[in-house]
Amino acid sequence: MRITRSNQIPDVLLIEPVMPADGRGYFLELFHEARCREIIPARFVQDNVSFSRRGVLRGLHYQLKNPQGKLVSVLDGEIFDVAVDIRRGSPTFGAHTAILLSAENHLQVYIPEGFAHGFCVTGERALVHYKCTAYYDPAGERGIRWDDPSLAIPWPVADPVLSERDRSLPTMDAVEEMVFPVYEG
């Protein structure tokens, strides 16, 4: 596998797997704990899968009490995936990085704890797989508005399909500073 750091936020890792292929198809090793441990100093405890249709935007979400690092892959379809650094005191606080993940390019992104995460579906549908470093904690769930002008994220959809919750999330400026995780770099 080939690992590169995001130019915008070096803590976010882009992982390009080695994938043997021939006329029958391909073989993809989605996760290998020993190899992963060399690059991601975290233990994964929960796997999640979400299915969404074209134009759906999910996010930007994070957990405060039990922050989750996420290894994100797309099993079917294509997404525009975004990570926003919300760690108070971080040199990249408020910066974002975005990448196109798809079942065609097989790229994965590792988003460490302390980041808000979101994505929008750019194809007909998307089946997204997340490996998480902490269990989901509904009581600690927080979010930031997807179209926050201070973030200037170039989403590829103008009028996304949103959940009621995501539609009512605050901008970063409206979030109390103490509701963001602390940078420990």
- Catalytic annotation, residues: 61, 130
Query: Whole-angstrom Cα distance, residue 79 to residue 61?
Result: 16
DSSP state of 22: E
Exposed/middle/buried for residue 74 (C-beta within 10 Å: 0-12, 13-18, 19+):
buried
Q: Which residue has the tokens 């294509």?
A: 78
CB 42 within 8 A of CB 132: no
